[in-house]
Amino acid sequence: MNLNLKNINYTSIFLFIIFLLFIFINYFIKSNLVYAGQVYSEIKKTDSSEQLFDSSETKIELLRSKIDDLSRKRNSILKEINRIEETLSFHLEIRNKKNPNTSERNSSFLKFQISFLKEKKSYLKKNLYEINLEQIDLEIKLRKKIYSLKK
């Protein structure tokens, strides 16, 4: 059995050595940083198992980021509700004018648009209510964490 070393590329050997080096280094490192949402958590490697290092400060930061995300969602839903209300008022004005030249098809389409906008508005209000409840719940959890840190 003869090995043909002329066909082996030196860059592939070099990359393979670097790959083995990374595996060797990662095996003996005792801690790693892991991206978890908007904060970095530290994983401490022990001989028996890997344990996630959760400090109260990272939990507080996570709660604050979730509250901020919910407030952004709430603001976008409020903007959408305002836009729907404007469109709905415009369609209601058109319907109330009762132009005799409008066809039955246009009036039925207008009725459909009005009912669709009303349903969408009620759905968005329901989502807004759920977001408000979730935000209040997270704020309560945040206050409890801050209070436990002060003790």
pLDDT per residue as tens digits for the range 7-27: 667 777 788 888 887 777 766
Per-domain residue ranges of the chain: 10-53, 56-150
- Rounded CA-CA distance 26/14 in Å is 18
- Rounded CA-CA distance 65/56 in Å is 14
* Number of C-beta neighbours around residue 63 at 10 A: 19
In the structure encoding, which two tokens stand for residue 135, read together? 């935000």
**pLDDT above 90 for 146:** no
Three-state DSSP class for residue 40: strand
pLDDT per residue as tens digits for the range 43-59: 555 544 444 444 667 77
- Rounded CA-CA distance 59/37 in Å is 11
